[in-house]
Each structure stands twice: as structure tokens, then as C-alpha cells.
């Protein structure tokens, strides 16, 4: 398989399958607040790993150790949106599989919007943390160039 195919299509597809699988399996294994805690923390862990490795391999392979912050941040924003689409798909699949009808004042769109904004917020936070790690990476050519121009 081509390495670009794996990076651009297979990795997001596998991540989406893992997230949707978590949304399908966790409600059958856990109940109540424990299920919500495990589901939210598990998907955040997958998000963290997905963001870190995707942005790091983008930095290494595509940018060739040139840590251009704007490009990496834009890529992280797109990856965050893609991941929130995965969690939204899992949310709607679980809801339509077992609809919550008897809960008073439950709004599907409000619940989805809260979840969407939380995962988008965490995705952007993990993007910024990965950017900081990439900026201080010892092989970052952009940082080296700036350091060399300051000393001259």
C-alpha cells in the first residue's frame, strides 16, 4: 500500500471505525454515569492519539521538519472537525438505535451540539499542545533558522 493512502484515508477511516465502535459497544457493557465517563474519556484518548500522530507525521513527512505553525494549525483544525464528525455519527447511531423518549426536556439537537463543541474544543486544545511540542522539537528547521539569524 502507498504510504500517502494510509496517511490520508486509512488512518482516518480506522479512527472513525474505532470511535463509532466505542459508541456501539460501550452502552451495552456499561450503564449510566460510568458509561458516559468511559465513553467520553475513551474517545478523548483516541482523539489525542489521532491528533498527535497525524500532526507529527504531517510535520515529518509532508513538511520535512519545517514547523510552519499556520499549516500545522490549519491541518489540526481540519482533523478536529473530522473527528467531531465521527463522534456525531456515533452519537446519532446510538440515539436512533435506542431512542430516549421518556426523559423530560431532552433535546437531541442540544445534546448533539454540546457534544460537538466539547470534542471540537478538545481537538483544538490537543492541536495547540501538539504545536508546542513540534515547535520545540530538536529537528524543527524553522526554529533553527530563526535561532541562526538571531545570533548573526
Statement: residue 27 has pLDDT above 90: no
Statement: residue 58 has pLDDT above 70: yes
Mean pLDDT along residues 8-13 = 86
Q: How far apart are CA 45 and CA 40, in angstroms?
A: 9
Statement: residue 21 has pLDDT above 80: yes
Average pLDDT, the chain: 88
Statement: residue 138 has pLDDT above 70: yes
In this predicted structure, what is the pLDDT of residue 149? Answer: 79
In this predicted structure, what is the pLDDT of residue 62? Answer: 87
Secondary structure of residue 106 in the 3-state scheme? coil
Secondary structure of residue 40 in the 3-state scheme? helix
In this predicted structure, what is the pLDDT of residue 7? Answer: 76
Residue bearing the bigger pLDDT, 122 or 36? 122
Confidence grade of residue 100 (pLDDT, cut at 50, 70, 90): low
pTM for this entry: 0.85
Closest of 47, 67, 55, 74 to residue 139, by C-alpha: 67
Amino acid at each position: 500500500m502507498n504510504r500517502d493512502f494510509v496517511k490520508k484515508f486509512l488512518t482516518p477511516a480506522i479512527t472513525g471505525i474505532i470511535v463509532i465502535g466505542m459508541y456501539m459497544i460501550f452502552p451495552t457493557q456499561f450503564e449510566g454515569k460510568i458509561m458516559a465517563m468511559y465513553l467520553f474519556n475513551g474517545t478523548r484518548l483516541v482523539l489525542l492519539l489521532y491528533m498527535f500522530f497525524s500532526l507529527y507525521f504531517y510535520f515529518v513527512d509532508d513538511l520535512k521538519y519545517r514547523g510552519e505553525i499556520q499549516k500545522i494549525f490549519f491541518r489540526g483544525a481540519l482533523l478536529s472537525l473530522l473527528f467531531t464528525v465521527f463522534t456525531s455519527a456515533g452519537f446519532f447511531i446510538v440515539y436512533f438505535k435506542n431512542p430516549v423518549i421518556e426523559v423530560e426536556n431532552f433535546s437531541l439537537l442540544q445534546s448533539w451540539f454540546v457534544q460537538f463543541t466539547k470534542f471540537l474544543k478538545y481537538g483544538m486544545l490537543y492541536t495547540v499542545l501538539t504545536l508546542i511540542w513540534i515547535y520545540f522539537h530538536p529537528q524543527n528547521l524553522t526554529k533553527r533558522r530563526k535561532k541562526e539569524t538571531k545570533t548573526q
